[in-house]
Chains A and B, each alone.
Chain A
Amino acid sequence: MSEQQNNSAATRPETVIAARDLTKRYGKTSVVDAINFDIAKGEVFGLLGPNGAGKTTTILMMLGLTEISAGRVSVLGFDPARQPLQVKRRVGYLPDAVGFYDHLTAVENLAYVAKLIGLPMAERSRRIAAALTRVRLLDVADKRVATFSRGMRQRLGLAEIIVKRAEIAILDEPTSGLDPQATIEFLDLIRELKAEGVTVLLSSHMLDQVQRVCDRVALFRAGKIALMGSVAELSVQVLGAGFVVEVEADGAGIARRLAAIPGVGNVETLADDRFRMTADRDVRADAARAVVASNGALRRLSVDEPSLEAIYARTFQATPSGGVRDAA
């Protein structure tokens, strides 16, 4: 019956998660303070922010694992506070620092979850084998989880979501503590999920990775969403422009010529021969032409793609340093 619901809704651009004034209070302090967001089907959405900004609490509220103080959230059209089983049947969750039963094997751990989901026996073993193959853990399927590295545990957690055939995967800090190679592999798996049409919600404070996989991000600050949008949108909004091009060249009047290029907002002279331009597009070709046209010697031309790190830094610096009042 649930499939029918989804089919009927699939015709319009679908919002799978919608939060309205979602609030969580412990006593008088609001951990999550009236946040609003919509997540569309099939997108990878990043929740970003320092520790304690309310990301995990938001996730737990979406799963009905913690009470909502005010506002509402709907997940796939269900209210997690009232219909938690419907929500949890369709949403896979990989908690921060996921734990498994160490004395059981990978297969046994997944089988337990599959039983809790209510899968019949034959279906269970088929799905588990397939999921373990996907996350490349098939050769250690019958090893006890106690021997697994952190990266393997995270992949096993992802296998659980695959076994569940979740429509939404919620991953809380999935790559923290992983080595670079494991991180890259994990991000590839997330992309695979996205390619299958799974909506992925990713919480992280590792900006670089979030930027690599997320379609849109929300920046959390002290329980509020400070910014939301795609990385490109945010960079325009926060940094004032999307691209920063640095030019190292000798020649007379280069700064003037660079400033004249259409799309360039501002040219800073860093040194006699170094200039930094902010522009709303990639203006490297024009800059090169401008330097050459002025008979200058072009030595270096580099572009900083809009970086989440810069956006993040700018956003969190913007908090008045004297304002300790609600520094969470």
Chain B
Amino acid sequence: MRREGSAFQGVGAVFVKELSDNISSVRMLMLQLLIVLTAMAALYEAIAALRQNTAEDPFLLLRLFTVSQVPLPSFVAILGFLIPLMAIGLGFDLINSEHNRRTLSRILAQPIYRDALLLGKYLAGLATIAISLTALWLLVIGLGLIFLGVPPGGDEIARSLAFLVIAIFYAGVWLSLAMLLSIVFRSPATAALVALGLWLFLTVLWPMLAPAIAQAIVPPDPRFAALGLDTPGTAIWTQLLQRFSPNDLFGEAMLAVLSPTTRTLGPVFLDQIRGAVMGAPLPFGQSVMIAWPQTVGLIACTIVLFVAGYVLFQRQEVRA
């Protein structure tokens, strides 16, 4: 039987309230400071390196995102590491804090569905992250203009916008995960710890574990090793396993979008690149094609995690 009324009634009110809570919270301020300061350090290094060879590179602006100077990783790598932290910081107590403050039953006794509360909170979290990332993006472009003095081309702007969109979806994955955990665990501390554990596992441990597991599945062939090459089977398995981490998907998509010369993300045979002009940039559309499966993966992961949280929340008892 259909429910009466719209599931979206009240989403706006929840969204506005949560957004203003997020933006004015000390927690958000700390997260933003962390990201901006680290990102600025990476950018500073990148700018210093790029000023040496301004004239040689057609994609100077994009280099800002991807160039890494030895002590610091690149701007994109830092974001890939810190965006999850920000999303977890915003999401780990979305629902369980309402339980613990005993506001949940009072709010749900208003003429709204639970959908509205969940969706409003989620969208507010995502909007907060999107605002921060957009500000950061503008900052990067502005700094690039000031320090490099080279106006970016349309292609570069399009690519950096694609970066922004993919980064927001990447944040969406972690926000969904954090929200799911905030529904499952009644204690915010538990939810935060589990989320941070998953984050560390997927960003730090998994890239190390994946090759080990791949080698167990397809042991490296000594003949390839003798030639100084990776065994194809092992390499394929390694990549497959690594792609279970959203961090890896984000990294691959960024590689495709921000480095126009990227032609493929997986291993290829020599005959597949016969005739290709090595080092020539791909058009924007083609780069997006390469990054598309990864992007879809991130979106799908966001949706799956959100739906899991939604189903659990609908069935959850309201009383503490």
- A contact residues vs B (CB 8 Å cutoff): 56-57, 60, 63, 65-66, 82-86, 88-89, 91-95, 97-103, 112-113, 115-118, 157, 160
Q: Are A65 and B109 in contact (CB under 8 A)?
A: yes
Q: Are B113 and A117 in contact (CB under 8 A)?
A: no
Q: Are A98 and B106 in contact (CB under 8 A)?
A: yes
Give chain B residues whose Cβ lies under 8 Å from the Cβ of A95: 102, 105-106, 109
Q: Are A116 and B13 in contact (CB under 8 A)?
A: yes
Q: Are A85 and B111 in contact (CB under 8 A)?
A: yes
Which of A56, A93, A99, A117 contacts B103 (CB under 8 A)? A99
Give chain A residues whose Cβ lies under 8 Å from the Cβ of B212: none
Question: What residue in chain B is nearest A98 (Cβ atoms)?
Answer: B106
Q: Are A82 and B1 in contact (CB under 8 A)?
A: yes
* B4 in contact (CB, < 8 A): yes
* B3 in contact (CB, < 8 A): yes
Q: Are A85 and B319 in contact (CB under 8 A)?
A: no
How far in angstroms is the closest Cβ of chain B from A60? 6
Give chain B residues whose Cβ lies under 8 Å from the Cβ of A160: 106
Q: Are A63 and B106 in contact (CB under 8 A)?
A: no
Question: What residue in chain B is nearest A115 (Cβ atoms)?
Answer: B13
Give chain B residues whose Cβ lies under 8 Å from the Cβ of A100: 101, 103, 106
Q: Are A88 and B110 in contact (CB under 8 A)?
A: yes
Q: Are A99 and B101 in contact (CB under 8 A)?
A: yes
Give chain B residues whose Cβ lies under 8 Å from the Cβ of A103: 21
How far in angstroms is the closest Cβ of chain B from A145? 10
Question: What residue in chain A is nearest B100 (Cβ atoms)?
Answer: A99
How far in angstroms is the closest Cβ of chain B from A170? 8
Kindly list 4 other residue pairs between chains A and B, CB separation below 8 angstroms, not including A103-B21, A116-B111, A118-B10: A88-B111, A92-B109, A93-B109, A100-B101
**CB-defined A-B contacts under 8 Å, sample of 20:** A56-B319, A63-B109, A66-B317, A85-B111, A88-B110, A88-B112, A89-B111, A93-B105, A95-B102, A95-B105, A97-B102, A99-B103, A103-B21, A113-B107, A113-B110, A116-B13, A116-B107, A118-B111, A157-B106, A160-B106
Give chain B residues whose Cβ lies under 8 Å from the Cβ of A66: 317-319
- Complexed CA–CA distance, A98 and B112 (Å): 18
| Most A Cβ at <10 Å: residue of B1, B16, B107 | B107
Q: Are A99 and B102 in contact (CB under 8 A)?
A: yes
Give chain B residues whose Cβ lies under 8 Å from the Cβ of A116: 10, 13-14, 107, 110-112
How far in angstroms is the closest Cβ of chain B from A181? 24
Which of B1, B16, B108 contacts A65 (CB under 8 A)? B108
Which of B21, B106, B112 contacts A99 (CB under 8 A)? B106
Question: What residue in chain B is nearest A95 (Cβ atoms)?
Answer: B105
Give chain B residues whose Cβ lies under 8 Å from the Cβ of A99: 101-103, 106
- Complexed CA–CA distance, A97 and B1 (Å): 34
* B51 in contact (CB, < 8 A): no
Give chain A residues whose Cβ lies under 8 Å from the Cβ of B5: 85-86
Q: Are A82 and B4 in contact (CB under 8 A)?
A: yes
Q: Are B106 and A117 in contact (CB under 8 A)?
A: no
| Most B Cβ at <10 Å: residue of A56, A66, A99, A115 | A99
* B9 in contact (CB, < 8 A): yes
Q: Are B318 and A60 in contact (CB under 8 A)?
A: yes
Give chain B residues whose Cβ lies under 8 Å from the Cβ of A89: 111
How far in angstroms is the closest Cβ of chain B from A150? 12
Give chain A residues whose Cβ lies under 8 Å from the Cβ of B113: 84-85
How far in angstroms is the closest Cβ of chain B from A203? 13
Q: Are B106 and A93 in contact (CB under 8 A)?
A: yes
CB neighbors of A among B1-57 (8 A): 1, 3-5, 9-10, 12-14, 16-17, 21
How far in angstroms is the closest Cβ of chain B from A29? 14
How far in angstroms is the closest Cβ of chain A from B284? 43
- Complexed CA–CA distance, A100 and B5 (Å): 27
How far in angstroms is the closest Cβ of chain B from A147? 15
Q: Are A117 and B319 in contact (CB under 8 A)?
A: no
Give chain A residues whose Cβ lies under 8 Å from the Cβ of B317: 66
The 4 closest A-B pairs by CB, nearest first: A99-B102, A93-B109, A115-B13, A116-B110
Which of B9, B13, B102, B111 contacts A112 (CB under 8 A)? B13
- Complexed CA–CA distance, A118 and B102 (Å): 22
Question: What residue in chain B is nearest A108 (Cβ atoms)?
Answer: B17
Question: What residue in chain A is nearest B98 (Cβ atoms)?
Answer: A99
Q: Are B106 and A101 in contact (CB under 8 A)?
A: no
Question: What residue in chain B is nearest A113 (Cβ atoms)?
Answer: B110
- Complexed CA–CA distance, A82 and B101 (Å): 28
| Most B Cβ at <10 Å: residue of A57, A98, A118, A160 | A118
Question: What residue in chain A is nearest B1 (Cβ atoms)?
Answer: A82
- Complexed CA–CA distance, A51 and B1 (Å): 35
- Complexed CA–CA distance, A130 and B17 (Å): 23
Question: What residue in chain A is nearest B109 (Cβ atoms)?
Answer: A93
Question: What residue in chain A is nearest B25 (Cβ atoms)?
Answer: A103
Give chain B residues whose Cβ lies under 8 Å from the Cβ of A115: 10, 12-13, 16-17
Question: What residue in chain A is nearest B318 (Cβ atoms)?
Answer: A65
CB neighbors of A among B120-171 (8 A): none
- Complexed CA–CA distance, A109 and B106 (Å): 11
Give chain A residues whose Cβ lies under 8 Å from the Cβ of B103: 99-101
